[in-house]
Structure 1
Amino acid sequence: MTPPTPHRRRLWALVSSTVLALATGGLAVAVNTAPAQAASVGAGSYTTTPVGPLPAGCGQLSTNPRQYVTADAPTGAVPTNDWWSSLLFKRTDCAYSEPLHAHPLSYDTFTDGLGFSANSTPAISGTATGVGEFHYPYTQDIRVGVAGLAAPTVKVAGWTDWTVTPYWSDGTRTLRATIGHGLPFAYFQATGGDAVVNANSTPTVWSNSGATIGFTVAGHDYVAYAPSGASWTVSGGRISSTLAGKGYFSVALLPTTAGSTAAERTSLATTYGRYAHAHVTGTRVSYAYDQAASRLTTTYAFTTTPREGTATQTVVSLYPHQWKALTGSTPLTQTYPSARGRMKVLTGVTQFRTAMTYHGVLPELPAVGDGSGADLATLRDQLAAVRGNPMDQRGGDTYWTGKGLGRAARIAEVADLVDDTATRDSALNAIRSTLTDWFTASPGKTAKVFYYDQNWGTLIGYPASYGSDQELNDHHFHYGYFIAAAATLAKFDPQWATDARYGGMVDLLIRDADNYDRNDTRFPYLRDFDIYAGHDWASGHGSFGAGNNQESSSEGMNFANALIQWGQATGDTAVRDAGIFLYTTQAAAIQEYWFDHADENFPAGFGHSTVGMVWGDGGAYATWFSADPEMIQGINLLPVTGGHLYLGYDPAYVRTNYAELVRNNNGQPTVWQDILWQFQALGDAGTALSSLRANPGYTPEEGESRAHTFHWIRNLAALGTVDTTVTANHPLSAVFTRNGARTYVASNITAAPITVRFSDGVTLTVGAGRTATTGAYTWSGGNAAGGVPPTGTPSPTPTTSPTPTPTPTSPSPSPTATPPAGSPTRYLLAGGGLGAAGGAGTTTVAAANGNHDGTPTNAQVFTATGLNLAYAGGQTAFDLFLDAGTAVGNGVQVRLSYDLTGNGSWERVETYRYFATDPVPGYEHYTQAAGLQSSSGALGNLANGTVKVEVWSAIGGSPSTLGLGNQSVVKLPYS
């Protein structure tokens, strides 16, 4: 049978075994199909009339994103995609928030105040060779509030670059708190009652002197600082203070050192106390790129308001990517544990700085080739094969259009390097026509168009996908492909990229995902980028128990690289430098938090050298869409471009990462082979090239081409590995080392020659529109900048190889597979049976029309009886084929029940988290990787036993299709 088309999922189906399930609390979807009103930007335009679903949440949030913002909060576009977004972008908790993982503390909001968690014990699940996760889940130590406070909602009274100020009011009492990344303090202002600290277990008070009290709860040391003249009263688990009528106080978490004495704790509390009343009221980042030295300097500054005294400094803790690059300061010896590894403490500061080396990017690897010319002929044949369809687009939404644009951009760059102008121009024409279409909003046009929502301050492309409209997910992922392709086009057709033509539309995409201009209030500043954490967040609302999350760090880096390439191509240094800030900072964060390349940050017992997803409270060797090791690891490698050389900064780690893939996969990759070989080539290009040559029939990943994969691996085999010991005074440059010899590379996309100087004294003259290398090689080319823009579309050249078949995200069962009687492999059959594979069919899972999360409602039921099977250990596995068509917001759920003896009593019941389907026609795979929502009882041998499978819609207003017969399958943990 034809395998289903895979859909790369973004923030829909929850895989985390420790993350709270979503609820829909008052979601509203607004759709307007009236003719669109266009706003011009040069020759381009966007619509200001809604053409599809809008951001949705509790109450009237869709049209009023300031519904949960106080009147005195900052004006302008509201932030999204942050660690604290569930406070403002309420979707699951319409009154308060989900846990807010700030580090070193996590917080949660309640009717009576702010909860604190300093959990330092990881919860590890899964296996070291399969899907696995680690989390430091919110585990409350204390709750801080005002006596009698009963606020019906918590609003947001303010925010700065990495802080937020929640606000409580019940009409009589108020509480205002400021919390932030890296802050061991939480700062409070209270009215209407005493300040109260309620401990979840009886606190051990080790110091109580005047306005300061130190106490320990659950092994964590806290200090509460009241104003001078005040005192603290302890009664059981309740600590309170009148605050001497002054209304302000702060609570700090101390670094806990095993075996520390009360005197040592008191001494540290005194040190912190010097800054306890200098409340942090603002945070701000600034950065500078020194091109001559290839250095990025970043300043993290704090504004404080002294509530008493004259101190203006504060106490902060730094993430590993920060303290490893710290300059001009020395941390204390004390550290905090966190989900990102050890955080080091600075006291008495108003700012700190980091200095990082920018190692350069390239539009594409140079074509250095081989002396025989045979490989060049192979590459030319592969380029000719894609000339007629350079985008090979797999879908019409923003993500899949972006993937097609990315593919065409790689083909254009490679073809240009080897002087295949026909293929290059075909790819450029495809990019130009696609971008121009999307960048034009004509009356009545509702597809391939961008809409600006003034309420939310966002630009949404329609058709949207993976929550990019209703949840504001993934804008950097989707738009990064558009911007990168525009940068390639700009090199060859600079007129198209001017502000008078379509350059202004590209700039709007940049500003929407990561607005680099603080003075532009149309969009929030750096929407997707968490300034302090050093990386992007993908979810717009972050409404998960584990906080916000990001899966494909490499697609985030695709966006950062796109800014560098676009800024360089158009001469916009502000955009270029913003890209260098994002790229350099995030490259460091990825090495630490996705790869843990130094083996310092993941908890002992996790067993993996990489994660597929980073969560606010941990990480997961998992994805939203597949449990295959190739995809778990590969999703943080694609797309492979000249901007992804950071993946090769540590060649030894590349080999470690690839070895884990082979181990977990029980062999070499069988899907996404091209992506994984290209990554392997950054650490061992010879072996990668051998694998590529030995597997000519591999199926390309949906955004890749055989031509680009061959070009990348073959040229890395000649170049060697990335050399990070040498830098250049040009942003488009790189150095490689092979057998002790260096190759220096620089790309010049201007219309005049340049000379690039490397830090070891080597200079390289690069002609206009050329990529140059040191050394004598046979491949040549590179005609960007100053060349004649391609006009017209070349006649398609017949493809010499068959169109690749999309790779399914999990194996499809064979139509002829028939399990023996009593087999643990059971297919879902028409009529409600659960047995041997039958003919392909479908059934309809009725719409939920409400919230039935965890409760089977109008379920499709499939049953097997009379089973005699021995329990083999492990867990149930399943693969359900689901398709919601174009419906938005559906979530299908499954429950499996085991009656071990057939007596009518269910000894084991497993309910899995629902699977939120995407609005793209084609089957998706709902598997056990979604994680258990609940379970009861225990499995055992089946003796005349019964197994029941119930499938229903947990949420959504539309029906879904379930594949039957030889499609949806359950694998019982029995022999």
Structure 2
Amino acid sequence: MAVTTPTVAPSPSYSCPSCKGTGSKPSPVHSSSSSPFPSKGYSQQSPPKNKRNNNNSTSKRSDGDLFSTPISPELSIPKSIPSQPNHPAPRKGIKQSQEGGGTAIPTNKFHANFFLGSQSSTVWTHPYSLQWAKGQGSSGAWGLAVSHADASQRVFGEQDPNGSGAARWFGSPVGRADVVLSEQGLEKGNATGGVELMTQDVKEQSIRVQLVTGGDVKLEAPVVQGMGMVTALYKQGTPVIKSGVGWKMVTQAMGVVKTGVVKYRLVMEDGATWLLYATGGDVGAIKRGEPGGLELEVQGNNVAVAKGSFTGMVQVAKLPGGANGTEGVADAEKLYDAACGTYATGVELSGSVDGQAGRYTFNFQKEGLSTNSSLVMFALPHHQASFSADTASKVVSSVKLDTTTKGVAVAVVGDQWTMEEDVSKPMSMGFVPWTPETGSVKTISDSAKEYIKTVAQKELLGTSQGQDILNQTDQPSMYFGGKALAKFAAILVAVNDVLGETDMAKKGLEQLKVAFARYSENQQQYPLVYDQSWGGIVSSASYTTGDAGVDFGNTYYNDHHFHYGYFIYTGAVLAHLDPSWASTASNLAYVNSLVRDVANPSSSLDPHFPSFRTFDWYHGHSWAHGLFESSDGKDQESSSEDSMHVYALLMWAQATNNQALYQRSALQLSLLSRSLNSYYLYSSSNPSSQIQPKEFVGNKVAGILFENKIDHVTFFGNKQEYIQGIHMLPLMPHTLFVRNREFVKEEWEAFFAGGAAEKAEGGWKGVLYGNYATIDPRGAWEVFTGGSQLVGSPGSGNGNGNGTTVTGTGTGTGTGMVESMTSTASTASTTTTPGSTTPTSTSVPTTPSAMSSKMVRRTIRRALEKGKGKMNMPLARAALPKAKKDGFGPENIDGGASLTWYLTWCATLGGL
């Protein structure tokens, strides 16, 4: 969660001479600009768009496009959040078109290296990688370098010193420049005024790259995730093809592939074979049988230059084989021959939920010979595992290329993919602990309730040495502030929904409202601002301090889903316990604005924010890395906080009856669970055991997953409790949906069994045992309580075989049983589903004791005055019940967790 660290392994480098870039750095351009390569003759196919009202649907079935309904009809920025016109990270070379989108620019997507820093770090589309060569490397080219690394070329780090026997990290070489697509003007341009890289149409899964010299665009490349061929467009230019690897031979294919298409075969020094297709002229000329013509003159083993001016497209694709043998070579060549002359330009995302069935679809937009050529795109393993029957029929399983960190990609022929997910389990979740077998769990024994109640009184209400909610949540960090708020929100859920102590919960609820209001009124130590440059809500900390890394880089869009996920969860709990709180316009607008920042479904409908800032629908998980150039691409350290943020979205949608967000989040959480178990979490039964290298899966978790490498480490240290624990916290109802028991058991036995967990320091010890409770809740209870034995535990009955007793359906058709603070009776409960009528209760309702905005401001002001301008952290946490053995002290509880929640977690999961 930090910006840089010396503990992370360096990038593997390709064995070529050191490179120094000298290209000029253009000033950011904000004006709209159209491409100098109009589609003139290259028709673009776009799928039909569904029309939909901008309000929350109350239907149980989506109308076919979950992504065309904004978070809220209110699209303004809350008045409490001022605008900031400039951002310390310039928008280098971006010429964002207003057509089809808003002004917000994606910040955490795969293509960011094209407009950050030197603009010459690698971009991964999978299976290929692209890089502005910028005069670097053995090729010395100034064009667009295209590379691909086979699995045999991976580099592995030393074995983990903690004894797992697994490699500490692995990665693929960067800077290979297998084939460089350039133009004669670019190669000469640096000496006559410089070469610039400009971008436009910056979208979630695509971007257009332009290489410019002397004000003229010499080459344009449409870049799309998963593209099967890399395309460069030329307009009256002279193509130059270079290579940092070098070739053994370049030959022109005999015969006619397609009218107007010339084909070359490049056999490289490393044994790989690349195909190059040149489609000249426009479509009309090709149909008339007029050859565009691209004749290459080979100059040595790494340069080929066109013998004249050329207008059209040059495409390259790598054949399987090389070190991997000949499998799929002939099939791949047939696919590429059939697809040449057509290229992907973008992706339109759509989706639906019908009952328990969720679907999301990639509609690939294309140009070129689109009427008679289907696209070839590459699918990652988690795509392949969830393809609809129709999409699966388009897979050419023999045509495979390795990716860097996502296993083997397989070719798919067609302009549309549909993936299917079962959303029943996310839709059965509520606020109380949950298991896949039984659903939501809230019934525990009276003795467990009494024990937890004693702890909760100290943790929630505080004493002279206790945990004051206002002080603990007053943090100079959105991350730690959010964690502290979420901690007390979870305590309230335990106290109200599980213990049934509604009076205690009401007292804590009022304090939490005041603490939350500090942030919703934007009175925290570093207030939020709306950044007009990129389009997003960021901390003012970096503006104030000049430190880009403060608060883990929040100002630069690092970790927004982690930070804001905790606030969204807290808001959801407040709305769950007091529905009138969310009906207050300012509260609703504040939480919705954070949701919009991280999970805006459409920047066309809500132009203040990019679509899904962090979540990558191609990869199936989020990227935490914001506006910092990175030689290994985007990265994410905490898979569990990624899933937490989607769970928080689900709960906010449930609490506020936002049907579209609810269905979308259920679909998103199902996809995320599949992706994390394919790439991040390694057990013998998870798909990851067959996807990730056998040399690495013994680590059990990824550590930090980059686009180009995986490093079993954290940004803050390399102790096992850090590395494994950052993929555990926070422990919430969705945890067992992502981290199945078999995985937890294997991980525990590999790293923490035999007393190893006892050596963990600080709050990590609590995280480890909270995680352990998912496989041995009774054992974890005894650790947390120092050996306390309970009497009268249910232990049997309506359980899951582990002594777990449940309340609620657990069938996927409901949300479990939840209690509203509008009720005075501790036994009152409701079942809520977003879009349904307002929940009713069998108890006599009372008027919610909501504080007015004026009262909130007065309370905060008095607290600030008392603390002389700062709400100081207490010196000690709450005094807890004395343990019979060693037990758990406050020093072993993470700042975002509580003993109340851990005990509730154990009691509900174990039927205690």
CA shift digits 1:905-951 (9 cap, x unpaired):
xxxxxxxxxxxxxxxxxxxxxxxxxxxxxxxxxxxxxxxxxxxxxxx
Alignment of 1:603-682 (within 5 A): 603-606=693-696, 607-648=698-739, 650-662=740-752, 668-671=758-761, 672-682=764-774
Residue pair 2:647, 2:734 contacting (<8 A) in 1 also: yes
C-alpha contact 2:75 2:606 (8 A) present in aligned 1: no
C-alpha displacement of 1:807: 6.6
Q: Which runs of 5+ in 2 are unaligned?
A: 14-19, 28-73, 135-141, 255-261, 281-290, 434-439, 543-549, 789-794, 834-840, 860-873, 882-887, 895-912
**What residue is the counterpart of 1:452 in the other structure?**
530
1:790 CA displacement: 4.2
For residues 385 and 355 of structure 1, do their structure 2 counterparts lie closer, same or farther at Cα, with a shift above 3 Å needed?
same
Q: Which residue matches 1:415?
A: 495
* Deviation readout 1:269-323 (Å, 9 max, x if unpaired): 2321211211111212112122x2x2221111101112x4733520111111111
Cα separation, 2, equivalents of 1:276 and 1:721: 60
Residue 223 of structure 2 corresponds to: 179
Question: Which runs of 5 or more structure 1 residues have no equivalent in the other structure?
Answer: 1-8, 29-39, 697-710, 734-745, 753-765, 773-781, 810-975
d(CA) in 2 for partners of 1:220 and 1:683? 48
Q: Which residue number in structure 2 is paired with residue 550 of structure 1?
A: 636
1:214 aligned residue? 265
SS in 1 for 2:451: helix
- Cα deviation code 1:676-731 (max 9, x no counterpart): 222222234344344434479xxxxxxxxxxxxxx9xxx99955599xx985123x
Match of 2:113 among 50, 66, 86: 86
Other-structure match for 2:157: 125
Residue by residue, what CA displacement relative to the aligned partner does 1:5-62 show, whole Å, maximum 9, x if unpaired?
xxxx433435322249999x9999xxxxxxxxxxx999963232559xx7423xxx1x
Which residue identity does 1:135 align to in structure 2? G
Name the amino acid aligned to 1:682: T
Aligned residue type for 2:575: A
From 205, 209, 212, the equivalent of 1:169 is: 212
Q: Is the 8 A contact 1:564 1:580 kept in 2?
A: yes
CA contact (8 A) 1:41 1:502 kept: no
Instruction: Say whether 1:46 aligns with 2:80.
Output: yes
Q: What is the CA distance between 1:185 and its match in structure 2?
A: 1.1
Aligned to 2:353: 289
Aligned to 2:402: 337
Equivalent pairs, count? 715
C-alpha change, 1:232 and 1:680, in structure 2 (3 Å) is farther
User: In the alignment, does 2:613 pair up with 1:540?
Assistant: no
Give distance in 1, aligned partners of 2:755 and 2:245: 45
- Distance change (3 Å), C-alpha of 1:173 and 1:401: closer
Check if 1:473 corresponds to 2:541.
Answer: no
- Kept in 2, the 8 Å contact 1:173–1:193? The answer is no
Distance 1:494 1:368 in 2: 21
One-letter amino acid of the structure 1 residue matched with residue 362 of structure 2:
Y
Who is 1:109 aligned against?
A: 132
Structure-2 change in CA distance of 1:646 and 1:137 (3 Å)? farther
| Residue 368 of structure 2 is aligned to residue 324 of structure 1 | no
Native 8 Å contact 1:595 1:611 kept in 2:
yes
TM-score (normalised: structure 1) = 0.67
Q: Secondary structure at the match of 1:274?
A: helix
TM-score (norm 2): 0.71
CA distance in 2, matches of 1:583, 1:693: 33
Q: Kindly provide the amino acid, as one letter, of the partner of residue 116 in structure 1.
A: V
Find the counterpart in structure 1 of residue 371 from structure 2.
310
Counterparts of 1:692 and 1:572, CA distance in 2: 38
1:504, CA displacement in angstroms? Answer: 1.0
Alignment of 1:457-606 (within 5 A): 457-463=535-541, 465-498=550-583, 500-518=585-603, 519-597=605-683, 598=686, 599-606=689-696
Choose 123-132 or 670-679, whichever is displaced more.
Answer: 123-132
- Give the C-alpha shift of residue 521 in structure 1: 0.5
1:618-657 per-residue CA deviation (whole Å, 9 max, x = no partner) reads 2111111121101111111111111323234x32111112
1:362 to 397, 421, 430: 430
Report the CA distance shift for 1:577/1:390 in structure 2 as closer, same or farther (over 3 A).
farther
Query: 1-side partners of 2:7 and 2:754: how far apart?
Result: 18
Q: SS of the counterpart of 1:495?
A: helix
Q: Is 1:195 the counterpart of 2:225 in the alignment? A: no
Question: Do the aligned partners of residues 613 and 139 (structure 1) sit closer, same or farther apart at CA in structure 2, a change above 3 Å counting?
Answer: same
- Secondary structure in 1 matching 2:222: strand
Q: Is the 8 A contact 2:614 2:623 kept in 1?
A: yes
Q: 1:18 to 1:66 in 2, by over 3 A?
A: closer
Q: Indicate how the Cα distance of structure 1 residues 400 and 207 shifts in structure 2: closer, same or farther if over 3 A, else same.
A: same
| Superimposed CA distance per residue, residues 430-477 of structure 1 (whole angstroms, 9 cap, x where no aligned partner) | 321122222225xxx673632112222111234574344442111111
1:76–1:521 CA contact under 8 A, matched in 2:
yes
Question: Is the 2:349–2:362 contact (alpha carbons within 8 Å) kept by the matching residues of 1?
Answer: yes
- 1:463-503 deviations in whole A, cap 9, x for unaligned? 57434444211111111111100000001222221262410
2:746 aligns to what SS in structure 1?
A: helix
Evaluate the alpha carbon distance shift between residue 784 and residue 437 of structure 1 in structure 2; reply closer, same or farther with a 3 A threshold. Answer: farther
Is the contact made by 2:227 and 2:377 (CA closer than 8 Å) also made in structure 1? yes
Conserved in 2, the CA contact under 8 Å of 1:81 and 1:541?
A: yes
The answer to whether residue 447 in structure 2 is matched with residue 374 in structure 1 is yes
The 5 A counterparts of 1:361-440 are 361-365=429-433, 371=445, 373-386=446-459, 387-388=461-462, 389=467, 391=469, 392-393=472-473, 395-416=475-496, 417-440=498-521
Structure with the greater relative contact order (CA < 8 A, sep ≥ 6): 1 or 2? 2
Aligned residue for 1:299? Answer: 361
Is residue 280–residue 314 contact of structure 1 (8 Å, CA) maintained in 2? yes
Q: CA deviation at 1:569?
A: 0.8
- How far apart are 1:662 and its partner, in Å? 2.1
Aligned equivalents of 2:760 and 2:451: distance in 1?
A: 23
Instruction: Quote the Cα distance in structure 1 between the aligned partners of 2:120 and 2:614.
Output: 19
Contact 1:685–1:717 under 8 Å retained in 2: no
Of residues 578-587 and 551-560 in structure 1, the stretch that sits farther from structure 2 once superposed is: 578-587
- Kept in 2: contact 1:206–1:215 (CA 8 A): yes
SS at match of 1:47: coil
> Which amino acid counterpart does residue 337 of structure 1 have in structure 2?
D
Mapped contact 1:142–1:199 kept (Cα < 8 A): yes
> Among 172, 194, 200, which residue is 1:136 paired with?
172
> Helix, strand or coil: the match of 2:95?
coil
The letter for the 2-side match of 1:639 is: P
Do the aligned residues in 1 keep the contact of 2:97 with 2:201 (CA within 8 Å)? Answer: no
Identify the structure with the greater helix proportion. 2
What is the aligned-residue identity percentage?
19
Q: What are the Cα deviations for residues 495-519 of structure 1, in whole angstroms up to 9, with x where unaligned? A: 2212624101111111112212341
Partner of 2:701: helix, strand, or coil? coil
1:394–1:492 CA distance, 2 compared to 1 (3 A): closer
* Equivalence for 1:224: 276
- Given the superposition, is the C-alpha separation of residues 483 and 259 from structure 1 closer, same or farther in structure 2, using an over 3 Å criterion? closer
Contact 1:689–1:717 (8 Å) recurs in 2: no
Q: Give the match's secondary structure for 1:425.
A: helix
Counterpart residue number, 2:40: none
**SS at structure 2 position matched to 1:305:** strand
Hey, what's the Cα distance between the residues in 1 that align with 2:767 and 2:877? 26
* Mapped partners of 2:75, 2:341: distance in 1: 49
Q: Which amino acid aligns with 2:228?
A: P
Structure 2 match to 1:246: 311
Amino acid at match of 1:134: F
Taking a change above 3 Å as real, the CA distance of residues 423 and 215 of structure 1, as seen in their structure-2 partners, is: farther
